[in-house]
Amino acid sequence: MKHAPLALAGLLAVTLLSVTATAAVKTTPGQADQRFAQLEQLLPTPNTVRTASGAPGAQYWQQRADYRIKVTLDETRHRLKARQSITYMNRSPDTLSYIWLQLDQNIFKDDSISRRSEVAANSGTRRDSIGAGDSLSFAALRRHHAFEDRNYGYEIGPVRDAGGRVLRTTLNDTMLRIDLPQPLRPGTSIEINFDWESNIVDEAPIGARGGYEHFPDSNTYQYFLAQWFPRLVAYTDYTGWQHKQFLGRGEFTLEFGDYDIELTVPADHIVASTGVLQNPDAVLTAAQRARLKKAETAKSPVFIVTPQEALENEKTGTSQMRTWRFKAENVRDFAWASSRKYIWDAMGYRQNDAKQPFVMAMSFYPNEGEPIWSKYSTHAVIHTMEVYSRFSFPYPYPVAISVNSWERGGMEYPMITFNGYRPTRDEKSGKLTYSRNTKYGLIGVIIHEIGHIYFPMVVNSDERQWTWMDEGLNTFLEYIAELEWEENFPTFGDKTNVLDFITGYMQSQDQVPIMTNSDTIVQFGPNAYSKPAAALAVLREAVMGRELFDHAFREYSNRWKFKRPTPADFFRTMEDASGVDLDWFWRGWFYGTDYVDVSVGDIRAYQISSQDPETEFPLRRSEFAANWPESYSQRQNRAEGRQTRVDRYPELKDFYNENDPFVVNNKDRNQYKEFRDKLETWERTALDRAIKAGEHVHFVDFQNVGGLVTPLPLTLTFADGSTEEYQVPAEVWRYNAEKVTKLFIRKQRLVSVELDRNHLIADADKSNNITPRRIEQSRIELFKGRDSGRNQMLDALAELKGEPKSGEKTETKALPLQPAPPK
């Protein structure tokens, strides 16, 4: 706390109160002022397809593709063989002379752009952490061998139209262009037919979103098939044919349609799939069907296939085949899983609104997933729907499925999700345990992947372009759902608050804005998942408040369900539906890489001077004494008993020895009277009221260290110990985004100002969040110095563990130590 220089004290009265927003503002072009510039400078121009309010326009359109596929799973060769038919409906206003298919499996070909453009650091599987410098992991080497051993990608036959005519095609990496015999006019459709085959990827070494998993102990398999068939490339109003090749990271841009899929698999397999099973009588036993019926109204998950039955089932095999037929309406993709290993449980979920579809929540998992899968999976599926529906719309499909498919992580498709995490069996003791990370990882990943059925499976954002639009929004809702699953849910490691988790990333180097194309993002996880989730948490709790935010977010979800939103549609809707100008927020959090760090600076406290010399001069005298203590030398002189000359010769004293500079005289009294007389009545009233109440005037400085403009949730603490919560909106930075001074006039003297006590704004450096500063307290551990270096003689004395291999030397011949020769 600084004190005002004495000479100023008398002038303080009213003049300083007018120094506010008009204080000198230095805005560097392209810097401070840009932080509040209109976002329209960056967003695409609104039109009749996408309006300025962020809603789909009167002329909104999207294409549609319906699929019929008959596919056979060859378990001995790990291979799919299919006959496929697509009906493509051109609902755009454009005439199309060609259409494109996306062939995602081609990413695994030796000559794919994806594989050839890998750099050393990402040549491992996506699960492998990247080593430092020149390094090669076991996983990367195994992956190299897996690609060497087998060919992947589609073997695709001639593409024919409905009349059987062969159409000309051109393959470009993961995309296939089909030239149409006649241009496809608006409002018309075309049917194409083709056969294809492909090897199923061995998922563990290669790292893919689908494939097969081998269980070496029982020599059994499970298959989970994703991006397994050629799909129509999206044609949109904003980019025409989506022409970014599949490089592995940027996910999918897809059209909605209906699916009729026949899956022919070994007869002892259980199949989990997008869609509704059409022939339960042909593929399920009477007991299984009865259990499914019971599950509809059950209060906890019911086994359709029990763990014991699954264990029995996986022991044998069969050469018989059986066809499961599924239909799915209005989905943008289709995935499935098949294995003789599956335990299957189910529990019905009746939504609040009786008009909404009844949902069967189901889980499929091998015994290797037990006991945590039967305990948590289906509950997590239903919990997700409960929470997400409150923030968006009722779950729109009749089934919601979680399949245990791999070690960690997960992947989402319409109605079905593939999720990791299993317990581990200790090799020696045979004991089954699972870590805290496995338990919460499992619940978390299921919430996350089921959540994706809302975003982007229904709110069909363009994942190839913008990862944050599905991952960010979804991680935000996942976070909310996890806090509602269990308090202190460890979503972000040991930190339960996403805002405490994200600060490290936001201060880091090598960052790109959230608004970056998926395939070029660095620090992918924090960029596209946690930072947008943190941004939305700040928006909801610190900027907009829950009521405005929740309404706007629901509005966005409902405007764009079963449609294709772009970032601008999200930004615009959130502002339009809430009446909150968020241009500064989108700029800072989504288009920039600044972080939040505001330092609470000086507090300067004043009381308003009455200018009455009778009261002010004595105050000045005591202030002067407090600020300027007597000279040390003078005090020492007195301590030594040294007398001054004036003490020794009192006749030297005069007027000035009797009157210090703070003595009131008539001139001062006259001046004061003159001052009072010149005041307007309202000025006198204001002054007298403040004096009577003893009002305190405080100037508090804030420095924007991180650069990102932010609201300032403050806790003001007063001399009597009382506190006041005071939220300064982010607009406080609109004239000067570097430094602001706030004025607080209060009846009580302010003793401290604290910023972000509740951790609401992701402020990165908490040490500068309070004035006066706190001394940080922690514990320090002592460390012991350690000898480094190898003692070869000692190492030679160690005993060999286990049996020596033949020819292995087990002893080192040490030369006898010679005593040092006498000098």
Q: Where are the alpha helices (DSSP H) in 318-458?
A: 372-391, 436-451
Chain positions 456 to 475 lying near Zn ion, rule: CB under 5 A, are 471
- Spatial neighbors of 753 by CB under 8 A, at least 6 apart, are 600, 603, 700, 714, 715, 716, 717, 770, 771
Chain positions 61 to 80 lying near Zn ion, rule: CB under 5 A, are none
The token pair at 74 is: 């060859």
The token pair at 800 is: 């060999």
x/- mask, Zn ion, residues 468-507, rule CB under 5 A, reads: ---x------------------------------------
Amino acid identity for residue 602 in this structure: D
Q: Which is nearer to Zn ion, 9 or 335 (CB)?
A: 335
Chain positions 139 to 198 lying near Zn ion, rule: CB under 5 A, are none
Pick from 486, 481, 482, 457: nearest CA to 470: 457
Estimate to the nearest angstrom the gap between the alpha carbon of 127 and the chain centroid: 19
Q: Which is nearer to Zn ion, 533 or 755 (CB)?
A: 533
Pick from 177, 184, 230, 167: nearest CA to 90: 184
- Spatial neighbors of 394 by CB under 8 A, at least 6 apart, are 351, 352, 353, 356, 357
- Which strand (E) or helix (H) includes residue 100? strand 96-102
Beta strands 336-339 and 321-331 are: unpaired
Report yes or no: 143 and 152 within 8 Å, Cβ to Cβ.
no
Distance CA 465, CA 734 (A): 32
Smallest separation, CB 451 to Zn ion (Å): 8
Q: Which is nearer to Zn ion, 203 or 583 (CB)?
A: 203
Smallest separation, CB 563 to Zn ion (Å): 20
Smallest separation, CB 276 to Zn ion (Å): 25
Report yes or no: 90 and 185 within 8 Å, Cβ to Cβ.
yes
Distances in whole angstroms, Cα of residue 335 to Cα of each of 213, 321, 397: 16, 20, 15
Q: Which is nearer to Zn ion, 524 or 662 (CB)?
A: 524
Q: Which is nearer to Zn ion, 232 or 445 (CB)?
A: 445
Estimate to the nearest angstrom the gap between the alpha carbon of 76 and the chain centroid: 41
Chain positions 260 to 319 lying near Zn ion, rule: CB under 5 A, are none
Q: Which is nearer to Zn ion, 250 or 588 (CB)?
A: 250
- Spatial neighbors of 14 by CB under 8 A, at least 6 apart, are 608, 683, 686, 687
Report yes or no: 708 and 511 within 8 Å, Cβ to Cβ.
no
Smallest separation, CB 471 to Zn ion (Å): 5
Q: Which is nearer to Zn ion, 471 or 519 (CB)?
A: 471
Distance CA 87, CA 75 (A): 30
Q: Which is nearer to Zn ion, 471 or 569 (CB)?
A: 471
Smallest separation, CB 410 to Zn ion (Å): 7
Chain position whose Cβ is nearest to Zn ion = 471
Other beta carbons less than 10 A from residue 572's beta carbon = 25
Beta strands, E only, 644-795: 696-704, 712-718, 723-728, 739-746, 750-755, 770-771
Beta strands 96-102 and 231-232 are: antiparallel
Q: Which is nearer to Zn ion, 381 or 600 (CB)?
A: 381
x/- mask, Zn ion, residues 418-457, rule CB under 5 A, reads: ----------------------------------------
Smallest separation, CB 528 to Zn ion (Å): 9
Number of residues that bind Zn ion (CB under 5 A): 1
Distance CA 283, CA 271 (A): 9
Q: Where are the alpha helices (DSSP H) in 106-137?
A: 113-116
For residue 157, the SS3 value is coil
For residue 681, the SS3 value is helix
Distance CA 314, CA 222 (A): 10
Q: Which is nearer to Zn ion, 32 or 385 (CB)?
A: 385
Q: Which is nearer to Zn ion, 447 or 598 (CB)?
A: 447
Smallest separation, CB 474 to Zn ion (Å): 6
Q: Which is nearer to Zn ion, 471 or 575 (CB)?
A: 471
Beta strands, E only, 109-173: 154-156, 160-161, 169-172
Other beta carbons less than 10 A from residue 147's beta carbon = 18
- Which strand (E) or helix (H) includes residue 559? helix 546-560
- Spatial neighbors of 463 by CB under 8 A, at least 6 apart, are 250, 251, 252, 253, 456, 469, 470, 518
Q: Which is nearer to Zn ion, 463 or 616 (CB)?
A: 463
Q: Where are the alpha helices (DSSP H) in 319-433?
A: 372-391
Q: Which is nearer to Zn ion, 314 or 471 (CB)?
A: 471
DSSP 647: H
Q: Which is nearer to Zn ion, 530 or 609 (CB)?
A: 530
Q: Where along the sequence are the contacts to Zn ion (CB under 5 A)?
A: 471
